[in-house]
Structure 1
Amino acid sequence: MAVDDDTLLDSSSSKKDAHVSSSEELAALDLQLSGLISSASSSKSPSSLSTSLESALALEKKARLSADLAPTKRCALAILEMCFNAKDWSLLMEHVVLLSKRRAQLKQVVASMVQKVMNEYLQKTPNLETKIKLIECLNGVAAGKIFVEMERARLTLQLARIHEEQGKIKEAGEVLQEVAVETFGAMAKTEKIAFILEQVRLALDRQDYVRAQILSRKVSHRAFADADESKDAEGKKKLSSVVQPPAEGTPSLLELKGMYHKLMIRYYMHDDEYLEACRQYQSLYEDARKAVSKGDEANADTMETDADAETYLPYLQRVCWLVCLSTSGPMQKSLLEQTRTDKAVRDMLPAHHELLTAFGNAEVIGWPELDAKISKALEKEINVFGAKGSDVRERRVGHLKQRVTEHGILVIAKYYRRITLTRVGELLGLSASDAEKRICTMVNEGHIACKIDRVVGVVDFATAKGESPAAVLDSYAASVRDVVGLVERSSHQISREMQRHGLASKA
């Protein structure tokens, strides 16, 4: 059962001498503290402020040693208010640290001080330097204290954004990566995911791709299971008494899902992992299509307008390019067929549909003819192939040509038993040596199985078709085991017959 913070006591409150103030005592204390605050504010002399602070500190000490939560908290907050009203930020930070380190200080008092300064005073600092110092002061107070872990995470996020605005991307990433929010039980799921995605983004911005991958694994795909609903899981059901609501401005689960896919696209495209990037774009396309149909998938095609199509067509175009750039395999073939049969591709993207059809058919593709058909669409695609004239575009266009060649070799392996390297080169538009290199590469990668007689220049797909070397060795081993088993059974039967007829004794 959830209990309000004001009724929760520190472990020291279990002592027999713990005291709980009555309402009359609290009213008298409030009157006394308000008088001290007025006295410190009305008089501009430092001595008046110092006197008021000493009186409030004495009241705080008395309440703290009695383990009385309510008056201790009120005294501590009154002290901070005096410092804030005096606009003495150094004094404010000094008293935050002082009060948090006093003997037998209650956890709820420390938490209340950190929350008040963070929520009310932090945005009123006169300059950025003071704000940074105040954040660092609060982080120092909250360090190692589990009851203010959420406040420390939010303060660290603010500090990282300040560093980023100043152009210090490296410092921002290093500050933010120190906080492991996945262990925070009181933080809402959406806020956790948003924090981790911010860590991933900063890691990508400073080109630390190894750390970005490690951080991205903290977010499971199951975390977005409720993103397809009209409301987040936290909006449909009441939050647990332990879990606090997310901070203001935290994106919804559906928005976080889109952010996650876009960050993963940046990571996969850096390493040219086209199939994984294609799957991320496929998810973005499906989510955008569902948002357009507003859940009415049966009438989605009739309800869509040109403006609606513009929201998801860019994602679909990139899916088409990336599935063709991906290395051939079961998942690639499945995704290729699924995309090729999509009605939106057939009706709105004719050039892309022609490209997918060429890769889907069991026919050799001629690169010059294909390039003439898709050149205009390829020039416009900057997200996948990069800017015109860049090294990225040159490399990825080369990868597309390579996939066209690999598709042609797979088709040749399907229809031919024996074929000369010269003829393979003619079919693929390559020289015999280049065709041999591509075939050898595909054999090493396990896409095809064949033997090449380099003396006569013949590729033999018949001798190794359907069976890899490992499979052949396994069949030989199985045959040897069968023979050994037959020999053992025959020897056993011979021994039985000899014993039955007494031949063994005569021998």
Structure 2
Amino acid sequence: KISPRVFDADPSKEKKKPKEGDNIVQEAPAEIPSLLELKRIYYELMIRYYSHNNDYLEICRCYKSIYEIPSIKEDPSKWIPVLRKICWYLVLAPHDPMQSSLLNATLEDKNLSEIPNFRLLLKQLVTMEVIQWTSLWEFFKDEYANEKNFLGGALGDKAAEDLKLRIIEHNILVVSKYYSRITLKRLADLLCLSLQEAEKHLSDMVNSKSLIAKIDRPMGVVCFRTAQDSNGILNSWAANLEKLLDLVEKSCHQIHKETMIHKAVLKA
């Protein structure tokens, strides 16, 4: 097992002279690559490994590590292709906290201004607006064709399908932010899908716990709800109980008041 932490050593630091009695580590032979070169080779092998499972997020993280190598970051001819790959695999990765964190961190990279099309692509994914797949694909299909050599063969074809799937998932998340209740027909119209496809993608996202929703198929209505932790549920229950007790107290007061008035009228 290899720990990537071995690549965090700073080769620029001066090595301390060994003291008497210390275990002396022999220098590596000249033909063995440097530590940073080994780091690049290691992550390239990991990319090949993760590619077999189409683990886009881990592939993106590997390219991110390669991107941080000084020899790569100092040469635009090297870091631009790597940064493009980071952007593509970020878009292809399913939405989760890690993907969202990497997405926002990449958007803050000043080097992204050198490839404005990819900055626009990432910006669309963090903006809470519905993305039209046809217009997006029309704009980026040439960029995708140029990059298809690194996605390669069957994986490249699957990546195109996954890209469309990611856009659909993004649009469903956007709809869930703005609607608490929506008809399936309207949802399908917003997603530019058929009713069956819209229901399938929504069900898949609910099963993967990406969002909370209930589908009333006879009524053709979808209800979105925000996820609550145990503390939120208890606080909500306590607030509702307090409202109930206040209502009971006011009702008792009104009944007592009416009784007193009625008794006063009878005595008169």
- For the aligned pair, the TM-score class normalised by the smaller chain equals 0.7 to 0.9
Q: Tell me the residue number matched to 2:183.
A: 420
Q: Does 1:259 align with 2:41?
A: yes
1:57-456 matches, within 5 Å, as: 218-226=1-9, 228-230=10-12, 236-238=15-17, 241-288=23-70, 292=74, 308-346=75-113, 348-386=114-152, 390-456=153-219
Unaligned runs of 5+ in 2: 239-268
CA drift at 1:225: 1.8
CA drift at 1:229: 3.3
Contact 2:73/2:79, CA 8 A, preserved across alignment: no
Q: Tell me the residue number matched to 1:203.
A: none
Contact 1:321/1:384, CA 8 A, preserved across alignment: no
CA distance in 1, matches of 2:148, 2:163: 15
**Compared CA separation, residues 289 and 335, structure 1 to 2 (3 A):** farther
CA distance in 2, matches of 1:378, 1:411: 25
CA drift at 1:316: 0.2
CA deviation digits over 1:176-219, x for unaligned, max 9? xxxxxxxxxxxxxxxxxxxxxxxxxxxxxxxxxxxxxxxxxx11
**Compared CA separation, residues 384 and 448, structure 1 to 2 (3 A):** farther
CA deviation digits over 1:246-276, x for unaligned, max 9? 2441111111111111111111121111111
Amino acid at match of 1:221: P
Q: Tell me the residue number matched to 2:227.
A: 466
Amino acid at match of 2:8: A
CA deviation digits over 1:215-242, x for unaligned, max 9? xxx111221121x4336xxx72456545
CA distance in 2, matches of 1:278, 1:393: 15
CA distance in 2, matches of 1:257, 1:391: 28
**Compared CA separation, residues 438 and 291, structure 1 to 2 (3 A):** closer
CA drift at 1:416: 0.3
CA drift at 1:447: 0.6
State the identity as a percent.
41
CA distance in 1, matches of 2:17, 2:165: 54
- Name the SS for the 2:11 alignment partner: coil
CA distance in 1, matches of 2:71, 2:149: 20
Amino acid at match of 1:224: F
Amino acid at match of 2:44: K
CA deviation digits over 1:46-71, x for unaligned, max 9? xxxxxxxxxxxxxxxxxxxxxxxxxx
CA deviation digits over 1:7-58, x for unaligned, max 9? xxxxxxxxxxxxxxxxxxxxxxxxxxxxxxxxxxxxxxxxxxxxxxxxxxxx
Stretches of 4+ moved more than 6 A in 1?
none
CA distance in 2, matches of 1:241, 1:410: 57
Count of residue correspondences: 234
CA-atom RMSD in angstroms: 2.4
TM-score w.r.t. length of structure 2? 0.80
Contact 1:351/1:373, CA 8 A, preserved across alignment: no
**Compared CA separation, residues 377 and 253, structure 1 to 2 (3 A):** same
CA drift at 1:283: 1.4
**Compared CA separation, residues 291 and 445, structure 1 to 2 (3 A):** closer
**Compared CA separation, residues 454 and 286, structure 1 to 2 (3 A):** same
Contact 2:67/2:73, CA 8 A, preserved across alignment: no
Amino acid at match of 1:339: T
**Compared CA separation, residues 310 and 248, structure 1 to 2 (3 A):** closer
CA distance in 2, matches of 1:419, 1:242: 70
Amino acid at match of 2:79: Y
CA distance in 1, matches of 2:79, 2:31: 26
